[in-house]
Amino acid sequence: MSGFIEGLPKVELHLHIEGTLEPELVFALARRNDVKLAYADQAALKAAYQFSDLQSFLDIYYQGSRVLLNEQDFFDMTWAYLTRAHAEQVRHTEIFFDPQAHTARGVPFAVVISGIHRALEQARQEWGMTSRLIMSFLRHLSEQDAFDTLKDAMPFKDKITGVGLDSSEQGNPPAKFGRVYAACQELGFRLVAHAGEEGPPENIRDALDVLSVERIDHGVAAIRDPELMARLAAEHVPLTQCPLSNLRLRVVDKMSDHPLLRLLQAGVKVTINSDDPAYFGGYMNANYQAVQQGLGASDQQLLVITLNAVNACWLSPEEKARLS
Ligand code: ADE
Ligand code: ZN
């Protein structure tokens, strides 16, 4: 690992907290909560992390989330992530959580957000590490389910900065959630959405035009559409890209095919993030290393990409000034 990457202060903008559950913690929580798992041990679970596409990953990711039942479980998961991120010089992190993955199993919204928030607060107090929370709607579920979730979130609105859209992109285009996003905008939430991960460039356009998002999560498909690339550059739309995720979910065949540097060279505000690090083989430093080694990015380019994340994050100008 290069000393430059290790020492670089970083900002993470695309991280699913449920995607940070390491096999060890999955099994520890399963024991604590008496949850039966489909895998005999950690090695068997890890062996199942051979993904053919996004859906094959999501099936295992939602299975893993079943071990989360109590406030302390959500705290422990979040604290484990924050500890790793802190060790990798992440100074600020904007975290997705999937409330529907838990409320559908009977875990109250309050339990989910209280455990996550308590860990975020502890990291702020102990290390000065800042964070924001992004409530993500599961796009394979209905519009009504998203509206119900928005209602559940209302008592905790002060703890949630933005909303996002994740899960299966194929067959669930942005327009399905046009009315949900309009309501979220009206309520003052910041807006982002996964688009162009497995789906076409059209989904990136619709996320911008129909959902009015300010950042695109992934946006890999933009490389196939020069006009869209030019628009993203001209409108300074940040892309929160996740190289190791895209490799493990076969969005790209090999790291050298990843479009991140080509997008950067076209003037697009790309950033590097870890997505679901427990499943994809690494946290922030490993993703930076993949861009350095797989794409040949220079230290100067990695610095520009990091400054893109500082610019794109939701801290106040005063808080940003304190990041370095
Ligand atoms: N949920 C967790 N990780 C995801 C990803 N990479 N794409 C869509 N939904 C997700
Ligand atoms: Zn994601």
The pLDDT value given to residue 190: 99
Is the pLDDT confidence value at 1 over 90?
no
Establish whether 202 is a catalytic residue.
no
Over residues 133-160, mean pLDDT: 98
Look at the pTM and tell me if it is higher than 0.90.
Answer: yes
Over residues 296-306, mean pLDDT: 98
Our mutation pick for probing the ligand 1 site, out of 18, 276, 279, 287, counting the most ligand atoms within 8 A of Cβ, is: 276
Over residues 198-226, mean pLDDT: 98
Band (pLDDT 50/70/90 cuts) for residue 170 is: very high
Nearest bound ligand to the CA of residue 12:
2
Distance from Cα 173 to the centre of ligand 1, integer Å = 14
The pLDDT value given to residue 136: 99
Q: Catalytic residue among 126, 197, 235, 318, which? A: 197
Expressed in percent and rounded to 5, the helix, strand and coil fractions of the chain are: 55, 15, 30
Band (pLDDT 50/70/90 cuts) for residue 308 is: very high
CA 139, CA 40: separation in Å to the nearest integer?
31
Is the pLDDT confidence value at 125 over 90?
yes
Question: Any binding-site annotation on 92?
Answer: no
Nearest bound ligand to the CA of residue 196:
1
Over residues 284-290, mean pLDDT: 98
Question: Any binding-site annotation on 275?
Answer: yes
Is the pLDDT confidence value at 174 over 80?
yes
Distance from Cα 273 to the centre of ligand 2, integer Å = 9
The pLDDT value given to residue 323: 87
Contacts for 175 with CB less than 8 Å, ≥ 6 apart: 206, 210
Distance from Cα 165 to the centre of ligand 2, integer Å = 9
Q: Quick one: what percent of the chain has pLDDT higher than 90? A: 99
Q: Which domains are assigned to the chain?
A: 3-321 (3.20.20.140)
Band (pLDDT 50/70/90 cuts) for residue 324 is: confident
Q: Could you read off the pLDDT of 73-120 as tens digits, one per residue? A: 999 999 999 999 999 999 999 999 999 999 999 999 999 999 999 999
The pLDDT value given to residue 41: 97
Listed as own residue / partner, the contacts of 156-159 with beta carbons closer than 8 Å and 24 or more positions apart are 156/109, 156/110, 156/113, 157/187, 159/113, 159/117, 159/133
The pLDDT value given to residue 103: 98
Over residues 124-148, mean pLDDT: 98
Residues with CB under 6 A from ligand 1: 16, 19, 54, 61, 166-167, 194, 197, 245, 275-276
Q: Could you read off the pLDDT of 256-273 as tens digits, one per residue? A: 999 999 999 999 999 999
